[in-house]
């Protein structure tokens, strides 16, 4: 009997994709079935979000509808999406599995290690496109291409995560948070991307190019605007390499080798990486988002 890679009972289990990754590399078709089940859970949560949005229209002005209440309601919905798709679920997972098996099932038995000990999936180079989003607020109403964003940066994020000893979900969630899923990467005066996915500022020790932008900072819970200088990278590879070097400082020693995305975010916030008092909470929320997990799972196969 193969390893159990079914859904975990708790959506906050950020390591739940490890077994899927291993099974996919071994050519286990159960990996395809699990990807299909996770997609169904994502679909269910999107339905719940739509229902909640309709409910919010009628609840406008209700003193019980606080941001804290909505946050915990979202957590409940994420957990509910897992429970509703257990077992036979809604049937969508089975249909999707059949389609995946028809397209990829025959390829799985050939998946294996090359003579160098590296799997075909690991050795295949990925083309990383530079970020091209305009300098806009991360809370823009422009739809986020979450899948496309993760696909573009996944390989560099994986390499950085391995060097830092953290979950790749943590690096990806941080980049998504800092750039609004790639829609708000800082640009220079020429309209060129800075490739600064982590909004690292240009301190006195930075010898490279810089780009200026007015940003939101926090003093406790109070937000304010300030003009700040940020590092400007020639490409995404340089951005990820600098992140690894930046987090190797003693100040961030508790952020590396932490394993989970949640612990990574908490350690960054405690070390003062960002002034946002909810920085760690936002990273954890992104890392447990079904659509995010679905995109990560697809890249891990």
% of the chain beyond a pLDDT of 70: 70
What are the DSSP calls for 130-173, one per residue?
PP---S--TT-SSPP-HHHHHHHHHHHHHHHHHHHTB-HHHHHH
List pLDDT tens digits, range 36-65. Answer: 777 787 777 788 788 777 777 666 767 666
Q: Is 216 helix (H, G, I), strand (E, B) or coil?
A: strand
pLDDT at 142: 55
pLDDT at 250: 93
Query: What percentage of the chain's residues is helix, strand, coil (to nearest 5)?
Result: 50, 10, 40
Q: Model confidence at 85, in pLDDT bands (50, 70, 90)?
A: confident
Closest CA to 301 of 98, 115, 27: 27
pLDDT at 149: 95
**Mean pLDDT across 282-295:** 94
pLDDT at 63: 65
**Mean pLDDT across 147-169:** 95
Rounded Cα distance, 42 and 262, in Å: 20
Instruction: Give domain limits for the chain.
Output: 14-112, 128-301
CA triplet 168, 260, 144: central angle to 5 degrees? 50
pLDDT at 93: 73
Q: Is residue 161 scored above 90 in pLDDT?
A: yes
The residues, ordered by sequence, that sit 6+ positions from 153 with a Cβ below 8 Å of its Cβ are 128, 172, 175, 197, 236, 240
C-beta atoms surrounding 178 within 10 Å: 22
Output phi, psi for 289, to 5 deg: -70, 130
C-beta atoms surrounding 42 within 10 Å: 18
Q: Model confidence at 229, in pLDDT bands (50, 70, 90)?
A: very high
Residues labelled catalytic: 217, 242
pLDDT at 136: 29
Q: Is residue 137 scored above 90 in pLDDT?
A: no
* CA dihedral over 31, 34, 40, 41, signed as positive or negative: negative
pLDDT at 154: 97
**pTM score, two decimals?**
0.56
Structure token pair of residue 38: 């996770």
- 1-5, 31-35, 51-55, 74-78: the lowest-pLDDT one: 1-5
The residues, ordered by sequence, that sit 6+ positions from 299 with a Cβ below 8 Å of its Cβ are 150, 151, 154
Closest CA to 153 of 131, 135, 122, 136: 131
Block residue for tokens 């999936």: 121
Architecture of domain 128-301: Orthogonal Bundle (1.10)
Output phi, psi for 239, to 5 deg: -65, -45
């Amino acid at each position: 009997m193969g390893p159990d890679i079914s859904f975990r009972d708790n959506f906050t289990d950020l390591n739940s994709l490890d077994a899927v990754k291993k099974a996919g590399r071994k050519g286990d078709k159960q990996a395809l079935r699990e990807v299909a089940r996770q997609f169904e859970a994502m679909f269910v949560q999107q339905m719940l979000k739509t229902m909640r949005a309709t409910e919010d229209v009628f609840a406008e002005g209700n003193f019980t509808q606080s941001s804290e209440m909505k946050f915990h309601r979202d957590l409940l919905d994420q957990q509910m999406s897992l429970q509703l798709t257990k077992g036979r679920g809604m049937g969508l997972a089975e249909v999707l599995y059949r389609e995946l098996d028809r397209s990829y099932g025959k390829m799985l038995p050939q998946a294996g290690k090359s003579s160098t000990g590296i799997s075909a999936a690991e050795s295949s180079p990925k083309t990383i496109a530079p970020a091209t989003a305009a300098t806009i607020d991360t809370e823009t109403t422009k739809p986020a291409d979450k899948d496309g964003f993760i696909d573009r940066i996944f390989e560099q994020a994986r390499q950085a995560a391995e060097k830092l000893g953290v979950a790749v979900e943590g690096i990806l969630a941080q980049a998504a948070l800092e750039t609004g899923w790639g829609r708000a990467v800082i640009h220079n005066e020429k309209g060129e991307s800075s490739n600064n996915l982590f909004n690292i500022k240009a301190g006195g020790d930075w010898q490279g190019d810089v780009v200026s932008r007015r940003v939101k900072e926090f003093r406790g819970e109070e937000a304010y605007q300030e003009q700040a200088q940020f590092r400007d990278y020639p490409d995404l590879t340089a951005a990820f390499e600098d992140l690894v070097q930046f987090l190797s400082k003693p100040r961030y020693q508790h952020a590396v080798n932490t394993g989970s995305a949640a612990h990574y975010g908490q350690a960054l916030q405690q070390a003062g990486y960002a002034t946002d008092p909810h920085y760690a909470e936002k990273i954890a929320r992104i890392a447990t988002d079904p659509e995010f997990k679905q995109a990560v799972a697809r890249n891990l196969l």
